[in-house]
Structure 1
Amino acid sequence: MSPFSGCYRLDSEWPSATPRLLGAQRDVTAGSRVFEMGPVQLAAAATGTSRDGGSLLAVHGRIDNAHDLAASLTPDGLPRHDASLLLAMIRHRGPDELARCRGAFALAFRDEGNGRLLLAADPLGRRTVFHARIGGLLVFSSRLRTLLALPGLPHDLDDGYLAALLSDVVPEPDATLYAAIRRVPAASTMTVGADGTLAVHRYWQPDWGRRIRHARDETYVEEARALLDQAVARQLRGPGPVVCELSAGLDSGAVAATAARLRAPATIHALTLAPPDDAPRFNHPTIISDERPGAAAVAALHPNMVWEAVSPRGLRAFDHDPRHVFLTMSGPARNVMNIGWFAFLMDRARTLGARAVLGGTLGNMTLSWNGHSGLATMARRGDWTRLWREASALGRATGQSTAAVLRRRALKPLLPARLQSRLDDYRGLPRPAAERFGAIHPDFARDTAINERRLEMGHDYPGCTETMRRRWLGRIQTLPPFLDPIGELYGVELRDPTADLDLLEFCFAVPDEQYMRGGTNRWLARRVLADRLPPDVLNETRRGFQCPEFLHRMTLQRDRIVEEVEALDRSALASRVLDVARMKRLAADWPTDAASTNFGEYGATLYRGLHVARFLRWIEGGNG
């Protein structure tokens, strides 16, 4: 479905600027037309809207379980157009019915009966509605870029959000990079009253107290397999060949292998990103720097899977000039290094005729949850026998003493993050990586109290399972919606079955002991995937590492990086926000050993910091 945008009149008459604003919205939302109902004017594609009497609804995105929802609403059970389906659901059962929707969507609903405007975001916030006030209007859009194109809307940055972006800290749920623009929080509806009052209501959240209990371990495996099959099947719908991103890990392997099973004997394509053989790359005993062997082993199990490796050679245009990224994403990108890296895989997918690429981005937080936080949960609930048994087994598997495992995994996570931080400092332990490897200026960090927020939110400090799940969900729900910008950058849509809400709710309710048993982490995923992945992948304990040749890619740009970092002093905004002195030191002391150069200092502090600096100079009027 296409994006939508609109105006809500807060005064008795439409301001004189309204036609100009709607014109700007229509320019950005190509192919749309204007619908009007009372104080609402809505620019949207006709295929993404539905009208029924005194009601009007526009939707941007897709509903993955539309057939099931339609069956519960209509006697014949025939699926409806997504917009008409959502309109019927909300009119007859209320907006809380959105909790039954699976997919990534944003919507605007106007009901003449109650005189209010309702805006909504999907449960994970992968699509949402942005809003701002211009004079006597509330303007809103499912694309941030549309609002930024409106005349009269300030583009001043929100310092707190910018600090959170630079520090990998979760921002406020309704915040954006721009002080004048807010967003509807994930899993929420926002009602706009006739007087302009905004009321936010959360329509979905996990049942944190729910626990699934089965007498047999195998029952958990059977349920998880059925839900994984359902999640992948939902994402296979649509035209074009099936193309999957395939690494040597459990998550993308789970998606690609399941897609192959569901589509057999029809062909599916699997693509693996791998560093060029002649490119120096980072190596460490705990990571996989070349995922081709594992991916090839997965493909060998599925005769209908056509597999190939893609090696990113050279640089892309937006590696040199990121303005297209800024325009598409309405700001800087957090994982800017990977944007250029993944472009090569997306190019190949597009050549194959794909409209979408399937991956497993959120699998680590759902199906392949590692289970380590379960030890703290066992300690919290006083399950001492199980705790001792699992801590002992994990100690044997990792070469640690049982006491060390208990101290690190069971007892420390029960302390508040502030106390954990003080204990780490007392023992001389390093701060979390996100705190050590950031380009934020210390004064800017202090002025925005970002380190206090980090500790308040508990970032990067261990906790019990519920605590870690809540933190993870909050992080995902506040990320800038990326599906549409990524699709526009690459010309191919990204889909992630491991983010399916039915699978997520099941995984959140599975007991801790199903995720770790006898010193084996990710125990649930390893059993669930035993019928579709090879033993070498199932038993792998190392983690994949995206863009292991990051230093090589940076070295190709070294001269320009050094030149631009040296010029940052001329930008008042960049000098205030970024630790320019640290970035200069890193640029001057360029490493030569790619194998031992970790991502932190150069990939995160220098490269990501320079990307943000380019954005700041660009909006400041520099040459970016």
Structure 2
Amino acid sequence: MLAFAWPWGRPADEGPQLLSQRLASSLCAGIGGHAGSASIGGLHFAYRELRSSAAKSRSWKPSAMPSGRIAAFHGYFDNAASIAAEMGADPSNPALLYGLAVERWGDDADRRIIGEYCAIIADPDSETLRLSRSPLRAPPLHYFHDEGLVAASSVPRAIFAAGVEQRLNEERLADSALLNFSDLEATYFEKLFKVPTGHIVELRRGRSRVLRQYYDLFAMPAVRLGGDAEYVARASELLDDGVRTCLAGFQRPGATLSAGLDSPQVALRALECMAADEALPTFTFHPETGYDERVQEYFLGNERPMVEAFAAMHPRLEPHFTANEGYEHDYRWNDFFHLMGAAPSGLSNMYVFHGLLSGAARERCDVLLLAEWGNYTFSDKGEWGYVEYFLTGRWRQLWRALTCINNDDRSVFGRFLLRCLMPLMPDFVWSAARKVAKPRHRSLLDLMQPLGSKYRKISGAERRLKQSGVGIERYQPRNRRHAQKMLFMNGDADAAEVYQAFEQMYGVALRDPMAYRPFVEFCFGLPVEMFMRDGRTRWLAKEMAKGIMPEEQRTNRLNGRWDADWLLRLGRRRSDLVAELDRLAKDERMAEMLDLPRLRAALEDWPEDTETDPQQFFAREFAVPRGLLTARFIDYVEGRNER
């Protein structure tokens, strides 16, 4: 993690070491370890490696360039060797390499560099600060600036250590509760902002911040090759590259493993990068004992049997399973608030990562491979294909697509109206049709969010949500680009902060080969038949899976059910949760913000069996934990503990 502070206008010799040491201490606060620090003139830096040591920390320093600018870098290059060769520079010093690249190429440097990083370049002569984050995935980078100080850091707590007041941004908290993360610069604290991925922020004393987007994920050119074999081969080659780059520099890898199409392919490619006598530990979560195996239609509640069958085909896989015993929905929330300076609504059911990462830490893994970007890339369902096949007159493909849907009991004509014509209609038409078709159904967002209706209006959260265009119910893409924009209109929904917090807790790096930029760009340019063909969805991923997994898994159409045993986990704590809601009801502010009567009713009317109708279980599984998350973050920020 990286931290920086620059007291503009203050003499350089005014306590030069004290501020940099405060920054270093803040990076280690709550997690221990060692952080390096340095003061150069009036500029103060600190850096903590994920697996820190006293010796490395003492030797760390930012890089001074011949121009007088100073660069600090956090993250990694995938193509450091090629960039260094072009620059005639040392590939082992990423900060200097990055700084020199920016001096030569300007913003184009960030387009040329492949990797995951955030970076700071300070120019003392012009009193200018350049902040940047890589596209797609990147460590967080927050910042503050006014007439007296500019500060930036991977974590907000370092900015507060620089003297900035910690004040809650209630608007961001309310937006998060409504699943609206469309403001890509907002943080949970007033006057703190963050650099969006694929952007550069320039700060200069006495001037407003300048935000520049240097990378557009949705401007990828079309990819057209000679035939299916070429597409499959190229996708495999790029995914191999992605796995290799994610493993670079690590000694003991592990991988998450599910019953899907994505993570198994990552795991097998990781094995190919390892010595022939080495095993790869894999980590899979499953429901607790006592789970009643009830789940929505077309979902898979327990992925363990399929994972075991897959692992049996590949003896060098070393499968580990966890039911996440002892990890409840609110496990270590206060630690998260400290480590990430945020309370995204998704944190309320991220507890399953504790079991995965604690297992990886026990096995002494230094990196855990994910496959989160698989559904965005090679295993996309290609659901824009219905409209594309219709508009281009590809009638056979359209007929196959409409007749092979296995979770729709409508007639073919009804499916055609819903999947070919309705996506072309504006939102108000869709909303009207939905009300006619399901007059008694509440929106899923209304069911899963915890805020009171009056507060949603007076806080402006309702207005901001409407202006954002963010919605969780209507996924009816008109074309490939529309599908991509719908998936990413919320950015990463603070996922970078969540992953960084988990890394701090467990000391295990998280890498996703599916987010390797050349692989993403290739997949984003592919034609629709690579994803939806002859009525089969995820065609490319399934082709790449031939021969490496049981056919039952390769052809499986069930989606893994996250948090399948929610009834057990929340049910055993029901009386404590009701008591907490009752305490919140005595607080005028909380009673105004949260819909406490609805949350309490959801806990009181508790089912005996796991419900499968979202109209019934969304309030229990989602709204209750999110309401408590919102209240506890307010208490944390404002230092309240009387409840």
What's the TM-score once normalised by structure 1's chain length? 0.91
What amino acid is the match of 1:271? F
Is residue 444 from structure 1 mapped to residue 455 from structure 2 by the alignment? yes
1:280-301, Cα deviation, whole Å (9 max, x unpaired): 4542331111111111122122
Q: Secondary structure at the match of 1:109?
A: strand
The 3-state SS of whatever aligns with 1:481 is: helix
- What 5-or-longer segments of structure 1 have no aligned partner? none
Deviation at 1:358, TM superposition (A): 0.9
Query: What letter matches 2:471 in structure 1?
Result: H
**Preserved contact between residue 173 and residue 630 of structure 2 (Cα < 8 Å):** no
Q: Partner residue of 1:526?
A: 542
Deviations 1:581-604 (A, max 9, x none): 211111222222136476522121
CA distance in 1, matches of 2:16, 2:596: 43
Give the superposition deviation at 1:204: 0.9
The reply on whether 1:85 has 2:97 as its aligned counterpart is yes
Q: How big is the shift at 1:613?
A: 1.7
1:271 aligned onto 2:274: no
2: distance between equivalents of 1:575 and 1:16?
A: 48
Alignment equivalent of 1:64, drawn from 70, 74, 78:
78
2:256 maps to 1:257: no
CA distance in 1, matches of 2:385, 2:256: 30
Provide closer, same or farther for how the CA distance between residues 206 and 471 of structure 1 changes in structure 2, counting only shifts above 3 A: same
2:487 paired residue number? 472
Pick aligned residue for 1:24 from 22, 36, 40:
22
- Per the TM alignment, residue 59 of structure 1 is displaced from its structure 2 partner at its CA by 0.9
Check whether the contact 2:78–2:115 (CA below 8 A) recurs between aligned residues: yes
User: What is the percentage of aligned positions where both structures have the same residue?
Assistant: 23
Give the distance between the partners of 1:377 and 1:164, measured in 2 at CA. 34
Q: 1:396 to 1:150 in 2, by over 3 A?
A: closer
CA distance in 1, matches of 2:266, 2:197: 25
Equivalent residues in 2 for 1:166-205, closer than 5 Å: 166-205=177-216
What corresponds to 2:636 in structure 1?
618
Instruction: Tell me which amino acid in the other structure corresponds to 1:413.
Output: P
C-alpha displacement of 1:575:
2.2
Correspondences of 1:42-441 after superposition (within 5 Å): 42-44=45-47, 47=60, 49-53=62-66, 54-74=68-88, 79-111=91-123, 115-124=127-136, 126-133=138-145, 136-159=148-171, 161-206=172-217, 208=219, 210-263=221-274, 265=276, 266-315=278-327, 319=330, 322-379=333-390, 381-383=391-393, 385=395, 388-395=398-405, 400-428=410-438, 430=441, 432-441=443-452
Deviations 1:417-438 (A, max 9, x none): 3432232123326455234311
**Greater Cα offset, 518-527 or 449-458:** 449-458
- 1:210-261 deviation line (CA, Å, top 9, x unaligned): 2112231221111111111111111122333221111111122221122123
The aligned residue for residue 2 of structure 2 is 3
* Deviation, structure 1 residue 330: 1.3
Q: Is the Cα–Cα contact under 8 Å of residues 389 and 395 in structure 2 kept in the other structure?
A: no
| Distance (whole Å) between structure 1 residues aligned to residue 429 and residue 267 of structure 2 | 43
Secondary structure of 2:533's match?
coil
Q: Is the alpha carbon distance of 1:541 and 1:217 closer, same or farther for their aligned partners in structure 2, counting shifts above 3 Å?
A: same
Q: Answer with 337-346 or 513-522: which moved more.
A: 337-346
Contact 1:61 1:104 in 2 (8 A): yes
Residue correspondences, number: 616
Distance 2:396 2:220 in 1: 20
Residues 336/477 of structure 1: CA separation in 2 closer, same or farther (3 Å cut): closer
Contact kept? 2:531, 2:539, Cα under 8 Å: yes
Answer yes or no: is the 8 Å Cα contact 1:571–1:617 preserved in 2.
no
Superposition deviation, residue 278 in structure 1: 3.1
Counterparts of 1:338 and 1:256, CA distance in 2: 25
Distance 1:397 1:319, change over 3 A: closer
The 2-side partners of 1:92 and 1:256 are apart by 39
How much has 1:397 moved relative to structure 2? 8.3
- Match for 1:73: what amino acid? M
Could you tell me how far 1:182 is from its partner in structure 2? 0.8
The 1:192/1:283 distance shift into structure 2, 3 A limit, reads: same
Partner Cα separation in structure 1 for residue 4 and residue 623 of structure 2: 37
Residue 507 of structure 1: which of 518, 523, 534 is its match? Answer: 523
Shift of 1:18: 8.6
Match of 2:50 in 1: none
Q: Per the alignment, in what secondary structure is the counterpart of residue 296 of structure 2?
A: coil
* Alignment map for 1:555-566 (pairs within 5 Å): 555-566=571-582
Deviations 1:72-125 (A, max 9, x none): 3328xx633211221221122213211233332111002456552101112135
**Pair 1:592–1:307, CA change in 2 (3 A):** same
Residue 341 of structure 1: CA displacement? Answer: 2.8
Look up the SS of the partner of 1:309 in the other structure. Answer: strand
TM-score w.r.t. the length of structure 2 is: 0.88
Q: Distance in 2 between matches of 1:48 and 1:238?
A: 20
1:540 Cα offset (Å): 0.6
Distance 1:149 1:114, change over 3 A: closer
User: How far 1:368 sits from its partner (Å)?
Assistant: 0.8
Which letter maps to 2:506? Y
CA distance in 2, matches of 1:5, 1:286: 49
Q: Where does structure 2 lack aligned partners over 5 or more consecutive residues?
A: 29-34, 48-56
Cα 1:129/1:277, change in 2 over 3 Å: closer
Q: Secondary structure at the match of 1:475?
A: coil
Once the two structures are superposed, residues 512-554 of structure 1 have per-residue CA deviations (whole angstroms, 9 ceiling, x without a partner) of 1210011111111111222433211110100001221122111
CA contact (8 A) 1:417 1:455 kept: no
Greater Cα offset, 349-358 or 45-54: 45-54
> Greater shift after overlay, 224-233 or 530-539?
530-539
| Cα distance change on mapping 1:392 and 1:36 into 2, 3 Å | same
Larger deviation, residues 326-335 vs 506-515 = 326-335
**Structure 2 vs 1, CA of residues 345 and 128 (structure 1 numbering), >3 Å: closer, same or farther?**
closer
Question: Quick one: distance in 1 between partners of 2:410 and 2:547?
Answer: 32
CA contact (8 A) 2:137 2:515 kept: no
Contact 1:129–1:142 (Cα < 8 Å) also in 2: yes
Look up the match of 2:564: 548
Deviation at 1:17, TM superposition (A): 9.6
- Cα separation, 2, equivalents of 1:415 and 1:163: 30
Q: Give 3-state SS (helix, strand or coil) of 2:537's partner.
A: coil
**In 1, distance between residues paired with 2:16 and 2:423?**
54
